[in-house]
């Protein structure tokens, strides 16, 4: 087992036990090329699917020992987790100190038990959006499937009933309106990754677009299609 995984799980266990040290935030929290905003902009594909809680299900499968489909009630019965993180959108806005509550990715992984073959995770959403991440990016102490933001249920425009939060990646790597989580033995590209966005999406290295610091010719930006 990788040491980084064990260390992340240890940090997470401390958070779950309420024993995590308060985060000392560096002064330098704004990744290069970003500006801080104090509102919470909405970015979507122009569709905000209406999913009633009674119809909501989160399917989790692929390279796992125990595939599952969680109802809303099942989801809320799982151990609950609250964390504060910063949010960076590739369209250059960042918002600090976002408090999200929900279920940790670690909790989901412990339930379904990814097999040794699992190396990547593919996320599918109720609006047709998708995104992909390496498994080790998801297995971190700050990654969760959130149902609340700042103590209130996530609104539909921000991805309710539930959305994925991966603070160390640009926000497009976090699926709103989450519907399905598939553990994969290979990487497949999601919606924006197929359209010129970086597959790795690290805000600290301004890893915005695939193979180039600037958009490739003909690149359609997020905002252009809204």
Using the contact rule CB under 5 A, the part of the chain among 14-22, 155-163, 168-176, 207-215 near Mo ion is: 168-176
Cβ neighbours of residue 194 under 8 Å, at least 6 residues apart? none
- Report the candidate in 148, 141, 59 with the shortest Cα–Cα distance to residue 107: 141
Nearer to ligand MTE, 45 or 78 (CB): 45
Which does residue 129 touch among ligand MTE, Mo ion, none (CB within 5 to 8 A, set by kind)?
ligand MTE
Q: Write the interaction track for ligand MTE spanning residues 195-224; mark x where CB under 6 A is met and - where it is not.
A: ---------------------------x--
Binding segment (CB under 6 A) for ligand MTE, from list 22-30, 36-44, 136-144, 182-190: 36-44
CA nearest neighbour of 68 among 114, 136, 135, 13:
114
Query: Least distance from C-beta 206 to Mo ion, angstroms?
Result: 14
What sections of the chain are H helices per DSSP? 3-16, 72-77, 105-112, 135-138
Question: Quick one: tokens of 144?
Answer: 């969760």
Q: Would you count residue 125 as binding ligand MTE (CB under 6 A)?
A: yes
Interface residue with ligand MTE among 14, 42, 117, 194 (CB under 6 A) is 42
Q: Who contacts 74 (Cβ-Cβ below 8 Å, separation ≥6)?
A: none
């Amino acid at each position: 087992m990788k040491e980084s995984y064990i260390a992340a799980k240890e940090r997470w266990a401390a958070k779950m036990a309420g024993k995590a040290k308060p985060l000392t935030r560096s002064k330098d929290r704004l990744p290069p090329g970003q500006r801080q905003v104090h509102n919470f902009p909405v970015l979507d594909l122009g569709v905000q699917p209406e999913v009633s809680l009674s119809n909501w299900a989160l399917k989790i499968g692929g390279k796992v020992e125990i595939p599952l489909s969680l109802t809303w009630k099942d989801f809320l019965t799982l151990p609950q987790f609250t964390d504060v993180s910063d949010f960076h959108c590739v369209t250059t806005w960042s918002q600090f100190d976002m408090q999200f509550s929900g279920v940790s990715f670690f909790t989901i992984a412990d339930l379904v038990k990814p097999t040794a073959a699992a190396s990547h995770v593919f996320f599918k959403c109720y609006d047709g959006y998708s995104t992909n991440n390496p498994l080790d990016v998801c297995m971190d102490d700050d990654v969760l499937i959130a149902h609340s933001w700042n103590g209130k249920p996530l609104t539909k425009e921000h991805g309710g009933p539930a959305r994925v939060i991966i603070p160390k990646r640009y926000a497009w790597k976090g699926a709103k309106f989450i519907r399905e989580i598939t553990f994969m033995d290979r990487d497949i590209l999601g919606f924006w990754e197929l359209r010129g966005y970086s597959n790795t999406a690290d805000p600290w290295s301004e890893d915005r677009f695939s193979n180039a610091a600037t958009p490739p010719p003909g690149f359609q930006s997020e905002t252009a299609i809204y």
